[in-house]
Structure 1
């Protein structure tokens, strides 16, 4: 079985898995398929991408490598794929940022996610958890809302425009609160300040929050998706606790350059569906907090991108969110 330690080892090497070349996808010259991760090595997105690359390589009987191209909230890697040769050899492992949100945060963005990409399929969503320091006298979301209207509170995020920032901005909008946003350069520093009691709360992914919740150093108040998380099944959603419709998560999906031939897209789509359909892969994804998409089709990803763009455009405008 693939473990987190094994996958982090793969991250250190900078490579995904290698397999025998499939003649239909290996042209020209048997070169590998590249799965581009638009973020730095070692994070949750990179970890999932490397496990997916292993499975795609097996399905395609083809060399599949992971290449990290980080920067500008995912835009550097996304633009690289958008401008790549449209032959099915370069795939973007995209998230909400480069596929939907960044166009509102980076006015000079050099690609358009609808015009410049052809969707392969969505993978799913990973929810955040609203977590407070153990010393915060709030046991539920209504408790927190009431406290925030009496006292000055702050929440930390991994940076301006990050999903953790937008989750807090949406919370303020729906709850009628003015919890102050404190941006950090990454999840780690924000979490460290939460543990130290310098900030009251964070919105962070379920796996990052889990050990600290279990250790009693922070208290989980709610999951940010409409459905509860299989990783924290006893924790109610924020929407269940007086904010109906509250939904803030990171979605994942695969795209290629827009002009990629249908035959190449179909091969990738078939391999992707077969990979995600494997029991071991589904178990791994769910262990990472992933809520797997019910439909692994191009229209499902197109619809998801449009929905998320509309959802966050209003929040970004009303909260006057600016990227770092």
Structure 2
């Protein structure tokens, strides 16, 4: 007994420690978030200002190539924009749209999941059947459908002011189902416990019970799902922009830059597509590494390993 007791805190600390890969992934995520937030102060030029475009400097190679310009580290695109500045702003747009889509989807999914799990009956049936219909459609197809309808109804849906809102809605309309299903299952478990039954007996309102008692106990899996879905949302935004239904070409996002660069890859101007693509891969990979670790960390079946 005396020998085993001192080892328990050490074992607990060992389980709480992050693997090196997760620490690197978390550092990369924090660094890229900081760079995206500080893009207006870090970027040498403003790629959203059309007046600053210099067509005479278009398609310049990176500075490390023979014909490169030291003023443009990663070269320029076909419009003469500094590619490094465009990537910084594009990363900012992609993260903002992905984060906004996750926030909207999580908010809708948590509310509907609480209602379905707490009340059950026809409320549960209606919410879950609607979710089943939405899940029967692929994410990209549904997002394309929503974006196309929005552009047909609102002529300004393709502008830089409204395109992020349309993209957030198009992505969130498919992703809320996963949150609703998870919260519904957790709510059904919590609703059967004694503390919820006691709250009902003393006459507390249903809204008070759901918000003050059940919601805090079902948020852990929601945070894990949100972290994992952030990478998927960023990738979906890049896919939509690559297909031409995302951000306009004059306002860069990572997907828009890849789409523009894809037209020049076979003519030897590879840097317009490669550098934004590498940035997107690093961002998605780092978020996925952190999300996978969080999922395993909060999985009760893996806590004993």
TM-score (norm 1): 0.23
Task: Say which structure is richer in strand.
Answer: 1
Structure number with greater Rg is 2
TM-score (norm 2): 0.24
Task: Say which structure is richer in helix.
Answer: 2
